[in-house]
Amino acid sequence: MAVREATLAGLSREQLLNMHYQMVLLRRFEEKAAEEYTLGKIGGFLHLYIGQEANGVGMFSALHPDDYVLSAYREHGYAILKGIDPHAVMAELFGKATGSSKGKGGSMHMYSNEHHLIGGQAIVGAQLVMGAGVGLAIQYQGEHRIALVLFGDGAVDEGAFHEALNLASIWKLPVVFVCENNQYSMGMAVTKAWAVSSLEPRAAAYNIPYRKVDGMDALAMREAMREAREHAVNGNGPFLIESLTYRFRGHSMADPAYYRTREEEQMWKATRDPIALFEEKLKAAGIMRDEDIQATNEKVDALVEDCVRFADDSPFPDPDSLYTEVTLDGAGAIAWRNKPSTPRE
Amino acid sequence: MRTIAYRDALREAIREEMRRDERVYILGEDIAGYGGTYSVTKGLFEEFGAKRVKDTPLAEEVIAGAAIGSAIGGLRPIAELMTANFSLLASDQIINSLAKFHYMFGGQSKLPVVIRMPGGGGAQRGAQHSQMLETMYAHIPGLKVVMPATPYDAKGMLKSAIRDDDPVLFIEHELLYSVKGEVPDEGEEYTVPLNRGIVRREGTDVTIVTFSRMVHLSLQAAEELAKEGIQAEVIDLRSVRPIDLDLVLDSLRKTNRVVVAEEGWKYYGTGQGLAALIYEYGFDYLDAPIGHVAGKDVPMPYSKPLEQAALPTRDDIIAAVKAIVPAPAGAGAGA
Ligand SMILES: Cc1ncc(C[n+]2csc(CCOP(=O)(O)OP(=O)(O)O)c2C)c(N)n1
Ligand SMILES: [Mg+2]
């Protein structure tokens, strides 16, 4: 079979190679970010998505550009996949004025109105309840799109999960909830935190359809997302996907992950790496050759280097920007004192 | 005396009180297997086991609620909330229940609950992870809110808090955990009261009233000011509810000038409340308006230079003092 004509899961070779490119980009981008963090170029918290790339790449390949995405703080990958220029993502990590949130947000707070990425939330569970509200706005205005709400297994423990799913269900809101179950919330193993072994009974409790998916398989994630989106966008209410996945690194750069064994990590990295699995699959189907992989790696490396150069060369925010954008009209706590020219009504 | 870190002092207090009283137990996120986000509870699981060192799921409301309920049932819980920012998810239980039970039920209920949490910024953790929220809790009748600045106080006050029959919010600071200080040898029993401030440095020209991490910056500022001939007295409040107002007024009678220094936001905050009390009860002793150093009136930005600009500094304190203290005779260029 000629390489050019092969397809998989109804996707063209070009589409499949693009998914591969995206996974490699997410991986290399964050490996680089981790290096820059240890050099002190990036501060605060840095939560890496390494190991979970197939989730984002698979899901986002089934989204429409108008769909909203709400997420937690492990969101550099989502930002890039939703269309924010990786240069602006790296610059945000560096705290530079050219960052996607002008340096005010940092790693945990990526956002873009243009791309409908409604930001990283650093408060676990916050995006779930807001996601229901975004779904309400879509339904209210009769729009043909969905809100995709992404969260981890830890967020399920918060009341917000239960309040959001119930509301979305009774109001039939066009929301797709996806739990990327990487089996830990910081050091807490999901087996200790949950009274049940999957989200299936919880979905049933709120009368929401549910799929469990291999989160290391980008094509499986894509299929699940297609089904869920179809369901939600056509007025049938919310959908819950649970993916089984693993973060290869610690919770954040500060976490040495003493709560799990190196053997467990090694097992996942050696046998369940989503990029390696995807490459194997595409090669077996005759869609991808080693040359393609090499070309992708080179292209990604060049892009990531360029992102770092851009971030390095960019200026820090203007000191005056400390006080801008607190409110739209620039108001502080005192109404008049600093604005003598403003007329009193 | 030994020199140990703030986090180790806290751990000793918890360990000693758990040995002393079977009813004392701890609960919170990642306190057992992980050893605590800031390593405060490290090793306690190994000593006391799962019955008394309880990892909870990621659910702040039930951490506070279960602490309250177990106190109703006769236990003496110490709940750890990973940071003050997340205490907002528990704040309903804290404000609507914990603070009110004793009064609302006519004095019948007592809730010996300690809730520990760190606040504060300075580590580039951004708007949702850098807040000082003591003002919110200090506003609420029925709570005690303490904020020790040194390892000695951290240990002595935590022991007092655990033994106290009222609810105590024990607010630490992320940047204090590694700060070292002198603490009596293990086995040398001591406690520090929850309602008394302390004079950290004596002076005659101005009183700097402060708490938590700002105590250290205030002491540095006082050293600098001394070089220029200004003698600042530094008061560490240690508790923001109740406030040891007598200590502040006694100092004011001597210095006639006050600067209030805090990390949190200025408006409607602990510092303004304190300043209002000083105006109300100490107006006659004031020779100048009260100076106020506080965090800038913005959510905390991530970018390092912006964050540094948002946080109050030693130099801000020096400037605030100089704004209300006349330059000492013989000081300054050409004088
Ligand atoms: C309300 C709240 N509580 C605690 C935290 C601290 N915290 C940050 S991430 C995290 C674990 C979240 O785990 P999970 O939802 O599984 O997401 P993952 O990190 O695995 O992607 C915790 C406890 C927080 N940010 N917000
Ligand atoms: Mg997780």
Cα A14 to middle of ligand 1, angstroms: 37
**A306: confidence class by pLDDT, cuts 50, 70, 90:** very high
Paired strand residues for B169: B115, B145
Question: Could you read off the pLDDT of A152-194 as tens digits, one per residue?
Answer: 999 999 999 999 999 999 999 999 999 999 999 999 999 999 9
Position A344 pLDDT exceeds 70: no
Asked, for residue B100, whether it belongs to a domain, the answer is yes
Q: Which pLDDT score is estimated for A240?
A: 99
Of the ligands numbered here, which is closest to the C-alpha atom of A73?
1
Q: Which residues contact B189 (CB under 8 A, 6 or more apart)?
A: none
Q: Is the CB of residue A135 less than 8 Å from the CB of residue A169?
A: no
Residue A132 C-alpha from the chain's centroid: 18
Share of chain A above pLDDT 70, in %: 96
Residue A193: burial class (beta carbons within 10 Å; 0-12, 13-18, 19+): buried
**B248: confidence class by pLDDT, cuts 50, 70, 90:** very high
Average pLDDT over residues A64-85: 98
Average pLDDT over residues B59-79: 98
* B102 assigned to active site: no
Of the ligands numbered here, which is closest to the C-alpha atom of A128?
1
Of B142, B116, B118, B148, which Cα lies nearest the Cα of B130?
B118
Asked if A158's CB is within 8 angstroms of B59's CB, the reply is: yes
CB pairs under 8 A between A and B: 131
Residues B168 and B241 in one domain: no
**Which of A8-12, A197-201, A279-283, B272-276 bottoms out in mean pLDDT, i.e. has the lowest?**
A8-12
Cα B76 to middle of ligand 1, angstroms: 27
Q: Which is the catalytic residue, given B12, B17, B29, B60?
A: B60
Question: Could you read off the pLDDT of B126-173 as tens digits, one per residue?
Answer: 999 999 999 999 999 999 999 999 999 999 999 999 999 999 999 999
Asked, for residue B237, whether it belongs to a domain, the answer is yes
Residues B284 and B137 in one domain: no
Average pLDDT over residues A57-80: 98
- pTM, 2 dp: 0.96
Position B330 pLDDT exceeds 80: no
Asked, for residue B335, whether it belongs to a domain, the answer is no
Paired strand residues for A179: A151, A242
CATH number at residue B223: 3.40.50.920
- Its domain, for residue B97, covers 2-183
Residues B168 and B261 in one domain: no
Last residue of a domain, one of B183, B218, B245: B183
Report chain A residues whose CB lies below 8 A from the CB of B60. Answer: 158
Name the 3-class secondary structure at B239: strand
Residues B179 and B211 in one domain: no
Q: Which pLDDT score is estimated for A5?
A: 58
Asked, for residue B191, whether it belongs to a domain, the answer is no
Of A74, A28, A38, A53, which Cα lies nearest the Cα of A186?
A74
Asked if A96's CB is within 8 angstroms of B303's CB, the reply is: yes
Of the candidates A43, A159, A333, which has its C-beta nearest B59's C-beta?
A: A159
Q: What is the mean pLDDT of chain B?
A: 97
Report chain B residues whose CB lies below 8 A from the CB of A71. Answer: none
Tell me if B88 CB under 6 Å of ligand 1. no
Distance from CA of A157 to the nearest CA of B (A): 5
Closest-CA residue in chain B for A319? B306
Q: Which pLDDT score is estimated for A333?
A: 87
Q: What is the mean pLDDT of chain A?
A: 96
Question: Which residue ranges form the domains of chain A, and what is each CATH number?
Answer: 44-265+308-337 (3.40.50.970)
Position A281 pLDDT exceeds 50: yes
The number of domains in chain B is: 2
Give the CA count within 13 Å in the CB-facing half-sphere of A80.
Answer: 31
**A330: confidence class by pLDDT, cuts 50, 70, 90:** confident
Question: Could you read off the pLDDT of B178-223 as tens digits, one per residue?
Answer: 999 999 998 899 999 999 999 999 999 999 999 999 999 999 999 9
CA distance to A1, A39, A215, B294, per residue, from A52 (Å): 32, 25, 7, 42
Last residue of a domain, one of B123, B149, B183: B183
Residues B178 and B251 in one domain: no
**A76: confidence class by pLDDT, cuts 50, 70, 90:** very high
**B331: confidence class by pLDDT, cuts 50, 70, 90:** low
Average pLDDT over residues A203-216: 98
Residues B145 and B210 in one domain: no
Cα A170 to middle of ligand 2, angstroms: 27
Average pLDDT over residues A305-317: 98
Residues B227 and B173 in one domain: no
Position A340 pLDDT exceeds 60: no
Q: Which pLDDT score is estimated for A334?
A: 86
Cα A73 to middle of ligand 2, angstroms: 12
Strands B180-183 and B2-5, bridge-based pairing: antiparallel
Q: Which pLDDT score is estimated for B335?
A: 39
b/e map of A229-246 (b: 16 or more CB within 10 Å)? bebbbeeebbbbbbbbbb
Q: Which pLDDT score is estimated for A9?
A: 87
Q: Which pLDDT score is estimated for A1?
A: 47
Residues B86 and B229 in one domain: no
Q: Which is the catalytic residue, given B12, B16, B80, B129?
A: B129
CATH number at residue B37: 3.40.50.970
Asked if A323's CB is within 8 angstroms of B298's CB, the reply is: yes
Paired strand residues for B117: B171
Residues B179 and B293 in one domain: no
Tell me if B281 CB under 6 Å of ligand 1. no
Residues B233 and B315 in one domain: yes
Residue A136 C-alpha from the chain's centroid: 22
Q: State the ipTM, two decimals.
A: 0.95
Compute the distance between CA of residue B257 and CA of residue B254 in angstroms, rounded to an integer: 9
Best mutation site among A185, A247, A248 for ligand 1, i.e. most ligand atoms within 8 A of its Cβ? A185
Distance from CA of A231 to the nearest CA of B (A): 30
Asked, for residue B192, whether it belongs to a domain, the answer is no
Distance from CA of B298 to the nearest CA of A (A): 6
